[in-house]
Chain A
Amino acid sequence: QLVLTQSPSASASLGASVKLTCTLSSGHSDYAIAWHVQQPEKGPRYLMKVNSDGSHTKGDGVPDRFSGSSSGAERYLTISSLQSDDEADYYCQTWGTVMVFGGGTRLTVL
């Protein structure tokens, strides 16, 4: 079964960097995923797609502070130079016979 696993929460200081992780279930380590961000009271926003080889394609207007990478079954979203409005929920998404979301990671900027 295709499942994405995310840590429920993460935190980092203003101006620092943070790396969020999305883990694909066993047997699916070659799948690409997408990262989305949802700020409070707003609709989700597409950030990027991350492939199994670590290459990534960002959405329009996504700042250079956001980057993606991969290692095995893990897909990462790294945010550098954290700003206060990066505080949000981050979801990974993948696809197969159904569309699948991870449970989301709530990022707190300290």
Chain B
Amino acid sequence: QVQLVESGGGVVQPGRSLRLSCAASGFTFTNYALHWVRLAPGKGLEWLAGVSYDGSEKFYADSVRGRFIISRDNSKNTVYLQISGLRTEDTAVYYCARKEFNWGPMSGAFDLWGQGTVVTVSS
């Protein structure tokens, strides 16, 4: 079954760190760039970060650069998002998304989404 499954969310105090994981199955993981997107309460989808098929290129939204780190382990078919210095405004559902198989890691549609993992930042 072709799918992405996120995990690692939870309730976290402000200032702490968290690592989210996204496990892929049912497709050739190393053919695709992977990205993280979030949906905060009352807001729309926000792109956060992306990583190329081999992990050599990483891209970040200006709003999270310096606090978020994306990485991937192709031996485990997993992509990660490390978040440091958590803020209340980071409260959201975090999704990983597969970028369609063509062109570069930042060119194309997201053609597969996970179900999301919830991060709540609260003291």
Contact = CB atoms under 8 A, between A and B. Distances in A.
A46 interface: yes
The 9 A-B residue pairs with the shortest CB-CB distance, nearest first, are A34-B109, A99-B47, A104-B44, A43-B115, A101-B45, A43-B113, A44-B113, A103-B44, A49-B109
B57 to A, nearest CB: 12
B9 interface: no
Q: Is the interface of A mostly helix, strand, loop or mixed?
A: strand
A101 B116 CA distance: 17
Interface of A: 32, 34, 36, 38, 42-46, 49, 59, 89, 91, 93, 95-104
A93 to B, nearest CB: 6
A46 B106 contact: no
A59 B111 contact: yes
- Kindly name the residue among B47, B50, B109, B114 whose own CB sees the greatest number of chain A CB atoms within 10 A: B109
B113 A46 contact: yes
Interface string B99-120: 0100000111111111110000
- Kindly name the residue among A42, A95, A100 whose own CB sees the greatest number of chain B CB atoms within 10 A: A95
Interface residues on B, range: 20 to 34
Given A91-B45, A101-B46, A103-B44, A46 B61 contact: no
B47 A101 contact: yes
Contacts of B59: 98
Contacts of A49: 100, 109
Contacts of B116: 43
Given A44-B95, A98-B59, A36 B47 contact: no
A39 to B, nearest CB: 12
Contacts of A45: 113
Contact of A99 (B44, B50, B100, B113): B50
B41 to A, nearest CB: 13
Given A34-B109, A99-B35, A101-B46, 5 more contacts: A38-B39, A38-B45, A42-B115, A45-B113, A104-B44
